[in-house]
Structure 1
Amino acid sequence: MIPLLEVYKERWQVKSEQAIKPGLEAIEFALRKLGEPQKQLNVVHLAGTNGKGSTLAFIEGMAREYGLSVGKFMSPCIVDVHDQIQVDGRPITNEQMDRMFQQLAKAGLSGKLTDFELLTAVALLYIAEQSPDLVLIEAGMGGREDSTNVVTPIVSVVPSIALEHTNFLGNTLTSIAYHKAGILKENRPAVIGDMTEEVTEVFEKEAIQKNVLLSKFGKDFFVTKLDGTETYDYPLQQITISDLQRQLLGKHQGHNMVLAITAFLEVIKKFELLLDIQKIRNGVNNATLAGRFEQISPNLYFDGAHNPASIQSLVDTVKENFPNKRIEFIIGLLADKDIKTILQLLEEVGDAFYFANIHNERAMQAMTLYELSQAKEKQIIDDVNEFLQGLVKGDTVRIVTGSLYLLSEIRRNMH
């Protein structure tokens, strides 16, 4: 369920399926009917298990420093469907969404697409109409057969590979990597994150087939830490950028930052801009992202970690930043996640656990989470927003995690 999408579907009598159907035939058909809007865009395309949103935020930060206008299509939403489609930080409005749906209805696309395909078509149509300089697009699931894979990007970026959506993408890292590597395009460069040897080989094979220049974290470009700041190095291009001080916390964000810089070098080349190290520095230092160790109030953080790899990053960030604090987790999870592993990881650092229901047909019941948890201090909460308004002692840190859907529900109900 994509919040508020149904409202527009009903208003304009445009039907679409909630099911996930991998494959590009339907979206390609729809885009032909709509005049191929994707062909007008200068795109950076991102796929991967974790790190897409953060890498995107770093790229956007740099682009804005350079004075480029930026369109974005991201998933899932922060609050509702509008914030998934943005131009220069402004979500698509109700009126603009109505106008896009009107065009989809006119093109006879009712009943031809899934929900995510429909949203992809709306995003590409709207962003093309607004004609920003640069467009940042996150794949929804996988990559090769994801409906966003209809673009020919300036550069493709894959921050990480971990087990996810195994019912669609296969249950090995190499099969998942095969799907993600599908966003690499003929003669267009690509940048990949820190990956195992077998996963890297999948990308190298795809790169050879498509004549792609592949830049790899830890082999071609690096991040080093010194005196509380970080330095980016790309020896082959003789580029070094020091004094990087990002706001996005956690070691993994250092990886995402240098991936973003490497990808942005391709954008600079495409637009024939000069390399301005201060602009790059400002861009990454100012980057923020909702739901990524995001501080809501002095003792309250939101983090949309929802699989073992991102939960491990969250646990590492907690250890690094709050070694002597009492840690309380407020958790809601979708049922298709590796729930036992997620709970085990969080139990390493968590002192108390509060389980919440998410209003989503894919969610696991709070009672089931409670029963699976090995935590000594645990309970179920009915009203998360009311609970979060309660007083927190100074030595306690509360972290809401487990699902971006839970975070978006809480935000919708915040007064």
Structure 2
Amino acid sequence: MILNFDQYKEKWNVESDPAIKPGLEGMKKALTLLQNPHKHLRVVHLAGTNGKGSTIAFLEQIALHHGLSVGKFTSPCIVDVHDQIQVNGKPITQEQMDIVFQQMKKAGVSGLLTDFELLTCAAFLHFANEKVDLVLLETGLGGLEDSTNVVTPLVSVITSIAYDHTRILGNTIEQIAYHKAGIIKCGKPVIAGSLPEEAFSVVKRKATAEKAPLYVYGDSFYVQDDMQGEVYVHKQEEVMIDRLARKMAGEHQKVNMALAISAFLEVAKIFQLEVSKESIRKGVEMTSLAGRFERVLPNVYFDGAHNPASVEKLVETIKRRFPDDTIRFVVGMVKDKDIEQVLRLLESVGDEFYFVDFENPRAAKAEDLLCLSHAKKKEKLQEIIPFIQSAGNFDGITFVTGSLYLLAEIRNGLIDATHES
């Protein structure tokens, strides 16, 4: 479900299927009708189970601080469909969305695509219309058969590989890695995070077959601490950048920052752009991302952790940041996640649990989450917005987590409540 996307489909009488249908046949046909706008874009393509959004956020700020104009396509939305397509940090406007829909209507793509494929085409058109220098392109699901995998990128980035979307990507790490590695293209450099051994072997085999240089966190490049902050080191490139001061909390963000810097070094070589260490420092310091350990109200944090791997990182960060505080969770999840494993991890640090329903066809019922929880203090929450608004009176920390779709709905509810007051 893409919030406020249907209004454009209805306005311009462009049809698309809300179902998830992996494969590129429809995209290739539609893009041919649109005169292949993606072929004129210079792209960094990112896949991975977790960390894509954060890595893009770091990379965007670093590129902007080097004077580049940057298009960004991410999912799901933070508020609604407009923030999924951005140029220089600004969401596509209603007028600009109307322009790309007019282009798609005129080209005759109606009925050829799924919703996400149609949105991907809209992003390509907008970036081409705006003539951006660089596009940061996030896969929606997997990589190999994802709608974004029609580009030949300057650089491919694989942030992490863990169990998620197993019904579509497969039940083993190797099968999931096979899909993620599908974004690797002939001769184009690959930047990879710290991957499980069975995933790394798949990625390495694909990179070797494509004659694509492979740079891996912990081997080719890494981050270390010193008295003045963090230090990025790239052994092959003989680059060292010290005094890095990131605001993005969590040890896992150290890796995402390093992935972004490494990808930018490759972009800079291709653009023949002089790398400024100070611009990288400023970019890192300026980076933030909605829904990633995001403080939205006093003592209230949003975090879009939604699978065991990302929840592990959230739990680690909570233990480090709030070791002595009472922790309560507001949780809503989609049905196709490993719900029980997520709950066991959250229960290791949580004192109270409040389960909620939210508007999404894939959403698990709050009552079902309640039954699966082992927490001593737990209940189904009926009125979410007043609960969040009153959380400042709670002597502890409240985390809203489980699904980025949930965060978007609550964020919109808070915005509406503020306008009403």
3-state DSSP of counterpart to 1:161: coil
1:316 corresponds to which residue? 316
Q: TM-score, normalised by structure 1?
A: 0.98
- Matched AA of 2:86: Q
2:200 corresponds to which residue? 200
Cα distance, 1:228 vs. partner? 6.7
2:266 corresponds to which residue? 266
2:66 corresponds to which residue? 66
3-state DSSP of counterpart to 1:191: strand
- Matched AA of 2:171: N
Cα offsets for 1:38-95 (capped at 9, x unmatched): 0111111000000000000000110011011110110000011111001111111111
- Matched AA of 2:62: M
2:307 corresponds to which residue? 307
3-state DSSP of counterpart to 1:281: helix
Cα offsets for 1:333-391 (capped at 9, x unmatched): 00111000000000000010111101111000001111110001111111211111114
Distance in 2 of aligned mates of 1:167 and 1:225: 40
2:48 corresponds to which residue? 48
Cα distance, 1:210 vs. partner? 0.7
Distance in 2 of aligned mates of 1:102 and 1:235: 49
Alignment of 1:138 onto 2:122: no
Conserved? CA contact 2:220–2:234, under 8 Å: yes
Q: Following superposition of structure 1 onto structure 2, how do residues 8-407 of structure 1 map, counting pairs within 5 Å?
A: 8-227=8-227, 229-393=229-393, 395-407=395-407
1:408 corresponds to which residue? 408
Cα distance, 1:160 vs. partner? 0.2
Distance in 2 of aligned mates of 1:408 and 1:245: 28
Distance in 2 of aligned mates of 1:18 and 1:104: 17
3-state DSSP of counterpart to 2:140: coil
Distance in 1 of aligned mates of 2:24 and 2:5: 21
Distance in 1 of aligned mates of 2:366 and 2:180: 32
Unpaired segments ≥5 residues, structure 1:
none
3-state DSSP of counterpart to 1:56: helix
Distance in 1 of aligned mates of 2:189 and 2:391: 51
Cα distance, 1:26 vs. partner? 0.6
3-state DSSP of counterpart to 1:76: coil
**How many residues are matched?**
415
Cα distance, 1:393 vs. partner? 4.3
Cα offsets for 1:242-262 (capped at 9, x unmatched): 111100000000011101111
- Matched AA of 2:283: G
Segments ≥4 residues shifted beyond 6 Å: none
Distance in 2 of aligned mates of 1:222 and 1:281: 16
Cα distance, 1:394 vs. partner? 6.6
3-state DSSP of counterpart to 2:274: coil
Cα distance, 1:395 vs. partner? 4.0
3-state DSSP of counterpart to 1:187: coil
3-state DSSP of counterpart to 1:45: strand
Distance in 2 of aligned mates of 1:129 and 1:135: 13
Distance 1:110 1:246, change over 3 A: same
Distance in 2 of aligned mates of 1:276 and 1:123: 29
Distance in 2 of aligned mates of 1:339 and 1:227: 40
Cα offsets for 1:293-324 (capped at 9, x unmatched): 01112201100000000000000000000000
Distance in 2 of aligned mates of 1:393 and 1:282: 36
3-state DSSP of counterpart to 1:113: coil
Cα distance, 1:131 vs. partner? 0.8
Cα offsets for 1:380-413 (capped at 9, x unmatched): 1112111111143474011100000000001111
3-state DSSP of counterpart to 1:390: helix
3-state DSSP of counterpart to 2:382: coil
Cα offsets for 1:79-138 (capped at 9, x unmatched): 111110011111111111112112211111111101111100111011111011111010
Unpaired segments ≥5 residues, structure 2:
none
Cα offsets for 1:185-241 (capped at 9, x unmatched): 111101000012221110111111111000001111111122372111112221111
Cα distance, 1:152 vs. partner? 1.1
- Matched AA of 2:287: A
- Matched AA of 1:190: V
3-state DSSP of counterpart to 1:389: helix
Distance in 2 of aligned mates of 1:237 and 1:124: 32
Distance 1:371 1:32, change over 3 A: same
Cα distance, 1:275 vs. partner? 2.0
Distance in 1 of aligned mates of 2:265 and 2:98: 37
Q: Compute the RMSD of aligned alpha carbons.
A: 1.0
Distance in 1 of aligned mates of 2:395 and 2:389: 17
